[in-house]
Chain A
Amino acid sequence: MNKIPNRQVICDVLLEKAKEDKDIVVLCSDSRGSASMAGFAFAYPDQFVEVGIAEQNLVSISAGLARCGKKAFAASPACFLSTRSMEQVKVDVAYSGTNVKLIGISGGVSYGALGMTHHSAQDIATMASIPGMRVYIPSDRHQTKYLTEALLDDNKPAYLRVGRNPVEDVYEEGGNNFVMDRAAEVKSGNDIAIIACGEMVKPAADAAEILKKDGIYARVLDMYCVKPIDTDAVIKAAKETKGVITVEEHTFIGGLGAMVSQIIARECPKKVINMSLPDAPVVTGSSKEIFDHYGLNAGNIAKTAAELIKNVG
């Protein structure tokens, strides 16, 4: 079992690149520990800015740095970054077109029992609704690494969400099938398509293995690029299979499922089921308990897929 959380991977990439690139600046809002950025702050104090518990300031200061040529990485809990500082993201980052990468840490229900204040089950909806913002939710440490490297190479705004705890690998070490802004096909199949992002990709892949035992071949797409979504992959999946299931650690409002459903309704109508968190404060528990409570696990994804196939005939 992998022990390295995705947030640590981001810091490791930035530490490596900062050896050569003095324009990389990391900003935290009393969040260097939870963001795994303490190592960066220690190694490059002159390229680190602490703003205190002030997420609006975090984003505006990042924008000012970026306007003066810095590559700003603002790391703060996803719950605060994606809502409290939403207007700073809209005006100072997206509208002004500044090269700020927003790193939403402990995303989704990572903070488990801390409750709704600390959950970010709306961050896709808020961030993706802003013109010019991109939204990325990588599934494992390998993809996080490639994604962070790709984001260092462009100068456009983006929001990247990672969870708090280490997650199981989806990809093999060095098995690089990462293409920027293209969904990764984790499992091949033409009976049904399961489109997932972030921590839901692994259970989706496991569901495909369960289905295989019943002779059902599911195509699993890792849509880490929630915006710009890989429209071609969605259309292809809908056309080549009997139906589509989306799975996400987010509500069904304005998230991955909503975006996939819009594309399919417009381009190639097919049955779509959105598996998600509810539009309500979630039950108390660990991430896993919360996922299980709402059926966001391999067993229930497989069951939902099998029922969908049965219903569409």
Chain B
Amino acid sequence: MENLTAKSFELRKEVLDMIYRGKCGHIGGDFSVIDILVTLYYKQMNISPKLVNDPDRDRFILSKGHSVEALYAVLADRGFFPKEDLLTYSKYQSKYIGHPNNKVNGIEMNTGSLGHGLSVAVGMALAGKMDKASYRVYAVMGDGELAEGSVWEGVMAGGHYRLDHLCAVVDRNRLQISGSTQEVMSQDSLDERWASFGWNVLHAAGNDIESLDMAFDRAKTVKGKPTVIIADTIKGCGVSFMENSVSWHHKVLSEEEYQKAAVELKERRRASYE
């Protein structure tokens, strides 16, 4: 089987290049969320370039839209569009902008303003239920995003309608632009918050493909309620000087930092084969 851990480090390098070239991007969150995206797109979801208009395809929404560079890297590698397209990322007149938009093949919904994706996913899941379709719906959110009140309207509706084919993932990297989530707006008892709205709550090591894969498998077996996977991640995962550092939320790399990061990612990739 393909070494997906190696794949995630290979794609981190694509993200690094994109952001270094484009001189903008949210690298910290890209590196925390990328293993979640790799697990979904390479192992879990029924989606491929051939299925983009298939009514039975699984639906995916990146509610934390600022991590779009990670999604671009995954979609390009899966063949939704040519990798060369990403050379235009953030450039004049490019459709590859800093948040997801559905002019890009493989992207279902435009996101970027936080707190929308889960509710849209609820709508998609309700449509699936009405049509007695078999697809699942996934929404990946940030932990800072959970301060948006609209998130909890979506959580409420997902629980109320017992949407067991809906799966939310919280990229729990514990940092946001102004500091730690604990300092900015605490989210103690996160499990209980979701559970009290009727959700099944699972945990996964969010930068471990195997752990994530098991959690997604388990979520599929739960009936009568939606599942949230709290994925404990490391912001900036893969590059030592970015890890758990608030300053790398959307910092642009110097040439020296770029070279150093590239070397580290190569080493991590190599190590994943050992």
Residues of A whose CB lies within 8 Å of any CB of B are 25, 46-47, 49, 51-52, 54, 56-57, 60-70, 72, 87-88, 91-92, 95-97
Contacts and interface: CB of A to CB of B under 8 A. Distances in A.
A92 B120 contact: yes
A97 B108 CA distance: 11
Contacts of A88: 116, 119, 150
Interface stretch (B41-49, B67-75, B122-130, B240-248): B122-130
A69 B55 contact: yes
Contact of B123 (A47, A61, A91): A61
Given A88-B116, A96-B110, A97-B102, A65 B156 contact: no
A97 B109 CA distance: 9
Interface string B210-232: 00000000000000000000000
Interface in B150-165: 150, 153-154, 156-157, 160
Nearest to B155: A57
Given A54-B157, A88-B116, A91-B112, A63 B102 contact: no
A65 B127 contact: yes
Contacts of B170: none
B134 interface: no
B122 A61 contact: yes
For the residues of A in contact with B, the DSSP-based class is helix
B97 to A, nearest CB: 12
Contacts of A70: 127, 130
Contacts of A68: 55, 59, 123-124, 127-128, 131
Nearest to B61: A64
B101 interface: yes
A310 B102 CA distance: 55
Contacts of A25: 127, 130
Given A25-B130, A60-B123, A61-B123, A96 B157 contact: no
A68 B124 CA distance: 6
Interface string B127-139: 1101100000000
A97 B107 CA distance: 13
- Centre residue among A49, A61, A64 by max chain B CB count within 10 A: A64
Contacts of A96: 102, 109-110
A60 B116 contact: yes
B182 interface: no
Contacts of B153: 51, 54, 56-57
B119 A56 contact: yes
Contacts of A54: 153, 156-157
Contacts of B128: 68
B119 to A, nearest CB: 3
A57 B150 contact: yes
A65 B126 contact: yes
B262 to A, nearest CB: 35
Contacts of B127: 25, 64-65, 67-70
Contact of A67 (B111, B119, B120): B120
B130 A61 contact: no
Given A46-B130, A95-B110, A64 B124 contact: yes
Nearest to B102: A96
3 residue pairs, one from A and one from B, having the closest CB atoms: A64-B123, A60-B119, A68-B127
Given A66-B123, A67-B109, 18 more contacts: A52-B157, A54-B153, A54-B156, A60-B120, A60-B122, A61-B122, A61-B123, A62-B123, A63-B123, A65-B126, A67-B108, A67-B123, A68-B123, A68-B127, A69-B55, A70-B130, A87-B116, A88-B150
